[in-house]
Amino acid sequence: MPFLGAHESVAGGLHLAFDRLQQVGGAALQIFTRNQRQWNPQPLTAEEIALFQAAWQRIGCPPVASHASYLINLATGKPELVEKSIAAFHAEILRCEQLAIPFVVIHPGSHGGDGLEIGLARFTTALDLALDASGPGVTVLLETTAGQGTSLGSRFEELAFVLAHSRYPQRLGVCVDTCHIFAAGYDIRTSLAYNKTMDEFERLVGIQWIKFFHLNDSKTKLAGRVDRHEHIGQGAIGLEGFSTLLNDPRFVDHPMTLETAKGDDLHEDRDNLQVLRGLMGKPAAAVQRHE
């Protein structure tokens, strides 16, 4: 079965994310290695790295991914911003190398009104520059996006462009966010719709590129192009779509993490994971749709 987990806070120390993952019964983790709203965070200390490694091993070494800073925009046409973005992303990859985190998720950025083709070319060039200066141990996952504003990555063709034109395709993959693809116009609410969407991904990109999932229901309607996460089964996607994904044999060993809102006691993560596990092994036709 897929490795189901959540994005957890690193408040108080990176290693404490593993304690939070245990609290919710998760088997896969996503974190920010540093404050996602800062350009120049402090380097990792030897103590941080040691505590992280020990905590990770203590709970059985579940799959882990980092999510890059939201400040980074490798597709921008502004020279100062792209320079800062390349440096920040290189630093993120370095932190992942130090922590032995195998995946880093990044949004393809925004073209700022200059057009998709220009934006995709700029993103690919800047991505390669960041990879030039880093080792091969970390796989960069291009995250599917909702298509809000001038953001890139909402169409499968856009992901395919980057994978085809980067000088480092062997170091790339895709992270599929269920809320984002739905908001971008790819229906996954029923088995039929889900299979049609995955067939489209296979045709344009290739299923083998998918390495990670973000499991989020959507407050936004199909093709609403707004990124608003909802708890599993309580949004516009509903349970049947998640059931079909969770029981897809192609993704039986993939990490899948929640990115839904939660309070300090994390009960929302526990509840969402319970819902997801309840869908395992259950035919989609037997799942009652949320209305």
Q: Is residue 94 helix, strand or coil?
A: helix
Residue 90 annotated as catalytic: no
Provide the residue ranges of all domains of the chain, joining segments of one domain with +. 3-286
Residue 15 annotated as catalytic: no
Specify the pLDDT at position 291.
39
Residue 177 annotated as catalytic: yes
Specify the pLDDT at position 259.
98
Q: Which of 70, 117, 132, 250 is catalytic?
A: 70
According to DSSP, the residues that pair with 258 across neighbouring strands are 6, 215
Its pTM stands at 0.97
Q: Which of 8, 143, 230, 240 is catalytic?
A: 143
- From the options 3.30.420.40, 3.30.1360.10, 3.20.20.150, 3.30.360.10, give the CATH code of 3-286: 3.20.20.150
Specify the pLDDT at position 290.
43
Query: Which stretches in the chain have pLDDT values below 50?
Result: 290-291
Q: Is residue 236 helix, strand or coil?
A: coil
> Exposure of 36 by Cβ count < 10 A (0-12 exposed, 13-18 middle, 19+ buried)?
middle
Specify the pLDDT at position 135.
86
Residue pair 261/268 in contact (Cβ under 8 Å)? The answer is: yes
Q: Which of 92, 158, 177, 217 is catalytic?
A: 177
Q: Which of 180, 189, 231, 254 is catalytic?
A: 180
Q: Which of 15, 20, 34, 67 is catalytic?
A: 67
Max distance between CA atoms of the chain, in angstroms, equals 54
> Exposure of 220 by Cβ count < 10 A (0-12 exposed, 13-18 middle, 19+ buried)?
buried
Residue 70 annotated as catalytic: yes
